[in-house]
Amino acid sequence: MINSNKLRLPPSPPALPIIGHTHLLSSRLPEALKTLAHRYGPLMQIRMVNTTYVVVSDATTAEEILKTHDIVFASKFGQGITQHNIYEGLSFVNSTYGKYWRFMKKLCMTKLFAGSQLDQFIHIREQETSKLLNSLEKKSKDGEPCDLSVELETLTQNMICRMAIGRRCLENPDQAMEIRRLIKDIVETAAKFYFIEVYGPLKKFDIFGNGMKLKLAMWRYDELAEKIMKEYEKEEDDEMKSSGTEGKDVMDILLETYKDPDAEVRLTRDHIKYFFMNWSNVLDLVKNGKTNLFMRSRRKEMGPERKQDSPVLKREHVKSPILWEYLHNMLQQEHKQMTGSHKYHGPIIKLINDSNKLRLPPSPPALPIIGHTHLLSSRLPEALKTLAYRYGPIMRIQMVNTTYVVVSAAITAEEILKTHDIVFSSKFCPGTTQHNIYGGLSFINSTYGKYWRFVKKLCMTKLFAGSQLKQFIHIREQETLKLLKSLEKKSKDGEPCDLSVELETLTQNIICRMAIGRRCLENPDQAMEIRRLVKDIVERAAKFYFIEVYGPLKKFDIFGNGMKLRLATWRYDELAEKIMKEYEKEEDDKMKSSRTEEKDVMDILLETYKDPDAEVKLTRGHIKCFFMDMFLAAVDTTTSATQWTVAELFNHPQVFKRLRDEIDSVVGSKRLVEESDIPSLPYLQAVIKETLRLHPPGPLLRRQCFEDMKVNGYDIKAGTKIFINVYAIMRDPSMWIEPDKFVPERFLDNSTKVMDLKGHNYSFLPFGSGRRACLGSSHASFVMHVTVGALVQCLDWKFEGGGKVDIETVKIYSGAIAHSLICYPTARLSLSDV
């Protein structure tokens, strides 16, 4: 059931208990949030201890907040240390949107920072800028260095102080300097707070005493500000005051408003004091030299003449015209000074470009020892797909002490599988290979080299060549008919069947007969035993715990699973050796054919083993391991894909009906569907393709880079292990419409109809692509098409319980279906009539 009231919250990084995302914010907060935004998107959720924030990092979303929904977001939240602020609740800058804030903004725009008031302050800005340049000129002549940060801070403080309490600066410069010092002391004290003093429950206790220090600094400021206000009020000499607003400083205007009985909002003395404290940070940004460079580059494009052209939003910085006027004048005079005869000896900035620093793919925050294992608790392909939405199409994942690069986009997959195919043509071995007695002999997991190229050539020209696959047609037909007869019998007896087991048996029989056909005919018990042993090996390999596969503990076999796997492999080795010897002993011409077309896979491999002129000398271990690879790869993938197809058809009766109608119209009811019918059954092909798209039998392609390479702009070091998440690629919403839905019709469209199973289109990679693509894809395709076609053509189905099939996948590396397909078949066509 879907809860319609469930909120869709912004994405959020994985959080730690108690501290939330604090560990991700160790660097300067804006930069840390910018880095996280690249991973989690322009709108994300961040938790600092017990406080949650939403962070916006792009212009479109910012416009939605600051323009479309401006009134809704017109309030500000108070900063973390407000509990130590003696003026708490009186701030204009941090006040909530309401009557007081609207009144103060109106006062700022019409009097305090109106155009006429700014014009009155021109001489202040010019004088202070000239004073700065004279100071720098003197240092230039004397050859002295200067701390430009201090110079700019002093300039800013002088300008603000003179604009705010101009007469105090002229009459009592020590008093003006003291108030600047006190405000600076307040800022520095506030900056000393530890994180736990600002966020979380400990902020109430002031355990380090910083809260009391801040209050003491503010009380000293309050005393001096009160003294200045009283001195202003006592001054009655007309020569010290101007009757017009133009001759007044900011304190004059605020005190007038304070005494005005008709004012919309009644200001208090604390309102005025705190207003001046807020204002002390008006021009802080000019302390940063980078800002000067930026403003200089933008001066002609957005000059001061445009300072009143743009609309003022509700929470826009109302003092920005002052800032612009100041910067413009300062830069103009700086330009004149720089073009004179004097040299400017500013601080020397050394930019260090570490050309050796690698640009690695992004990575989620990792935990000690286990790395990102805690993020991979669900089925691995799905977990990596979820992480890819946050961290991008190429990312790094650490599993204990092993690091992987995960690719989840078609364009990046193409770069690896096509552009740099040779560099990434090796595979890394799965974690349990240390318990495999054939370690290093596997063709599937071998590195790209002479042996791999030789065996691939053997597969393409002999083992799985077109002529060899045609020779096996009768095997596939016979085994399919055997399956249908078994299901027909169960239909007559009214018995349920486990279709998963039936399909697995079908695939095993086909592979076994292709591999060791004579043993299957002469000694079916021997063939059954080798199938059982291979299945036992697969099941034991699946029982390994995570710590046995990854990390240092994998060497110790602490749960004994490694020994159990080796014992099963030894039993397989004994039986495989026995079969090979029996093949070698057979000399009867009636049991052998000189024609390659009639030989099974064992015949061809033993011929190659005995060939003294072979490019690579195969060992008996190579042959045994090849058969194990063949069983593991072919049986598992083909069975899984066929099971998924049947399950999806059971869950989509309209697709089932359309497929049956197509088969009836093309094949009819007098014969079974055959491999030669496949080109004439486009909807059957579409059903198979759609199943492979949603449920790829190999959801993660394994590759290993054997030399340093750049992929998608990131550095990939030699030896790096790569996962290509085809599960994520084939469910990418940017490539597929409604990617999570089973819609075979999408493959009837002209743009997707041409997609085959060979991996030529990198958004559709059910069997991989490039040099390491699945060599048995053609055989698997034949089995899937004919089996599914026959099951739809000959039988009706009723699923156990009458509901839909549970299409949950097993929570392991593979793409196998998790639950058995228990169903009741009903014969539709009599096999005796076809």
Residue 797 to residues 489, 657, 686, 820, Cα–Cα distance (Å): 14, 12, 21, 15
Assign 286 a pLDDT band (cuts: 50, 70, 90).
very low
Residue 266 to residues 232, 255, 274, Cα–Cα distance (Å): 19, 11, 15
Same domain, 610 and 707: no
Assign 168 a pLDDT band (cuts: 50, 70, 90).
low
> Contact 779/787 with Cβ under 8 angstroms?
no
Residues 6+ apart with CB under 8 A from 653: none
Assign 201 a pLDDT band (cuts: 50, 70, 90).
low
Which residue, 730, 748, 776, sits at the end of a domain? 730
Q: Is 59 a member of any domain? A: yes
Total Cβ atoms within 10 A of residue 192: 11
774 in a known ligand binding site = yes
Q: How far apart are CA 198 and CA 211, in angstroms?
A: 10
In this predicted structure, the answer to whether residue 803 has a pLDDT above a threshold of 60 is yes
> Contact 111/314 with Cβ under 8 angstroms?
no
Nearest to 765, CA basis, from 390, 432, 381: 381
Question: Which two structure tokens, joined as six digits, stand for 209?
Answer: 């005493």
In this predicted structure, the answer to whether residue 393 has a pLDDT above a threshold of 80 is yes
Mean pLDDT of the chain: 80
In this predicted structure, the answer to whether residue 238 has a pLDDT above a threshold of 60 is no
- Name the burial class of residue 539, with classes exposed (0-12), middle (13-18) and buried (19+) by CB atoms within 10 angstroms of its CB: exposed
Question: Which two structure tokens, joined as six digits, stand for 557?
Answer: 């076999």
Buried b (16+ CB within 10 A) or exposed e, 608-619: bbeeeeeebebe
Q: Quote the pLDDT of residue 346.
A: 34
In this predicted structure, the answer to whether residue 522 has a pLDDT above a threshold of 80 is no
In this predicted structure, the answer to whether residue 423 has a pLDDT above a threshold of 90 is yes
Q: Quote the pLDDT of residue 471.
A: 86
DSSP 312: P
Q: How far apart are CA 546 and CA 216, in angstroms?
A: 57
Assign 422 a pLDDT band (cuts: 50, 70, 90).
very high
Average pLDDT for residues 286-299, to the nearest whole number? Answer: 38
Rama region for 84: left / alpha / beta (φ>0; ψ in -120 to 50; rest): alpha
Task: Give tens-digit pLDDT for 762-789.
Answer: 999 999 999 999 988 999 999 999 999 9
3-state SS, 818-830, equals CCCCEEEEEECCC
In this predicted structure, the answer to whether residue 713 has a pLDDT above a threshold of 90 is no
The number of domains in the chain is 4
Reported residue count of the chain is: 834
Same domain, 156 and 112: yes
Pair type for strands 795-799 and 822-827: antiparallel
Q: Quote the pLDDT of residue 328.
A: 46
Q: Is 346 a member of any domain? A: no
Same domain, 527 and 555: yes
Average pLDDT for residues 165-170, to the nearest whole number? Answer: 67
Residue 180 to residues 126, 147, 161, Cα–Cα distance (Å): 20, 19, 8
Instruction: Map residue 44 onto helix, strand or coil.
Output: strand
> Contact 310/101 with Cβ under 8 angstroms?
no
Q: How far apart are CA 631 and CA 635, in angstroms?
A: 5
Q: Which residue has the tokens 């696959």?
A: 469
Total Cβ atoms within 10 A of residue 206: 17
Task: Give tens-digit pLDDT for 579-631.
Answer: 999 888 875 555 555 544 468 899 999 999 999 999 999 999 999 999 988 88
- Name the burial class of residue 738, with classes exposed (0-12), middle (13-18) and buried (19+) by CB atoms within 10 angstroms of its CB: exposed
Q: Which of 23-32, 331-340, 804-813 is the most confident on average?
A: 23-32
Q: Is 793 a member of any domain? A: yes
- Half-sphere exposure in the Cβ direction for 378 (13 Å, CA): 9
DSSP 367: B
Q: Which of 267-281, 411-425, 430-444 is the most confident on average?
A: 411-425
Same domain, 443 and 565: yes
Question: Which two structure tokens, joined as six digits, stand for 625?
Answer: 């391991």
Average pLDDT for residues 330-334, to the nearest whole number? Answer: 44
The answer to whether the predicted template modeling score (pTM) of the entire model surpasses 0.85 is no
Assign 208 a pLDDT band (cuts: 50, 70, 90).
confident
Q: How far apart are CA 626 and CA 621, in angstroms?
A: 8
Q: Which residue has the tokens 């309209």?
A: 654
Q: Is 151 a member of any domain? A: yes
Same domain, 197 and 150: yes
Pair type for strands 721-725 and 700-704: antiparallel
Nearest to 699, CA basis, from 785, 781, 637: 637
Q: How far apart are CA 512 and CA 85, in angstroms?
A: 81
Question: Which two structure tokens, joined as six digits, stand for 630?
Answer: 């063949």
Identify the bridge partners of residue 701 per DSSP, sorted by sequence position: 724
In this predicted structure, the answer to whether residue 175 has a pLDDT above a threshold of 60 is yes
Q: Is 646 a member of any domain? A: yes
Total Cβ atoms within 10 A of residue 325: 17
Same domain, 742 and 799: yes
Same domain, 725 and 735: no
Same domain, 310 and 215: yes
Q: Is 353 a member of any domain? A: no
Same domain, 288 and 263: yes
Q: How far apart are CA 135 and CA 183, in angstroms?
A: 24
Total Cβ atoms within 10 A of residue 194: 12
> Contact 620/449 with Cβ under 8 angstroms?
no
Total Cβ atoms within 10 A of residue 497: 19
Task: Give tens-digit pLDDT for 536-560.
Answer: 887 777 666 555 566 566 667 777 7
Question: Which two structure tokens, joined as six digits, stand for 535?
Answer: 């299945």
Residues 6+ apart with CB under 8 A from 175: 168, 224, 228
Between 223-232, 428-437, 504-513, 727-736, the lowest mean confidence (pLDDT) is in: 428-437
Identify the bridge partners of residue 403 per DSSP, sorted by sequence position: 398
Run of H or E including 747: none
Q: Quote the pLDDT of residue 156.
A: 81
Residue 230 belongs to domain with CATH number: 1.10.630.10
Assign 332 a pLDDT band (cuts: 50, 70, 90).
very low
Average pLDDT for residues 297-319, to the nearest whole number? Answer: 42
Residue 19 to residues 23, 196, 376, 415, 469, Cα–Cα distance (Å): 8, 9, 22, 40, 61
Q: Which domain holds residue 501?
A: 430-697+731-764+766-833
Q: Quote the pLDDT of residue 240.
A: 52
Identify the bridge partners of residue 49 per DSSP, sorted by sequence position: none
- Half-sphere exposure in the Cβ direction for 464 (13 Å, CA): 16
Which residue, 47, 73, 99, sits at the end of a domain? 73
In this predicted structure, the answer to whether residue 564 has a pLDDT above a threshold of 90 is no
Residue 717 belongs to domain with CATH number: 3.30.43.20
Which residue, 36, 51, 73, sits at the end of a domain? 73
Same domain, 128 and 25: no
DSSP 144: -
Question: Which two structure tokens, joined as six digits, stand for 126?
Answer: 């010019």
DSSP 428: P
Residue 743 to residues 645, 656, 762, 806, 827, Cα–Cα distance (Å): 12, 12, 19, 18, 27
Q: Quote the pLDDT of residue 333.
A: 44
Q: Which residue has the higher pLDDT, 672 or 518?
A: 672
Q: Is 352 a member of any domain? A: no
Q: Quote the pLDDT of residue 745.
A: 95
Q: How far apart are CA 573 and CA 569, in angstroms?
A: 6
Packing angle, helices 380-391 and 29-40, rounded to 10: 130
Same domain, 174 and 112: yes
Q: Which residue has the higher pLDDT, 203 or 300?
A: 203
**DSSP characters for 323-347?**
HHHHHHHHHHHHHHHHTSSS-----
Assign 743 a pLDDT band (cuts: 50, 70, 90).
very high
Q: Quote the pLDDT of residue 411.
A: 94
Average pLDDT for residues 627-652, to the nearest whole number? Answer: 89
Assign 211 a pLDDT band (cuts: 50, 70, 90).
confident
Same domain, 719 and 678: no
**Type of residue at 395:** M
Instruction: Map residue 407 onto helix, strand or coil.
Output: strand
Q: Quote the pLDDT of residue 70.
A: 87
Q: Is 348 a member of any domain? A: no
Average pLDDT for residues 504-517, to the nearest whole number? Answer: 89
Angle at the Cα of 758 from the Cα atoms of 603 and 674, rounded to 5 degrees: 65
Question: Which two structure tokens, joined as six digits, stand for 542?
Answer: 């699946």
- Name the burial class of residue 820, with classes exposed (0-12), middle (13-18) and buried (19+) by CB atoms within 10 angstroms of its CB: middle
Q: Quote the pLDDT of residue 193.
A: 62
- Name the burial class of residue 353, with classes exposed (0-12), middle (13-18) and buried (19+) by CB atoms within 10 angstroms of its CB: exposed
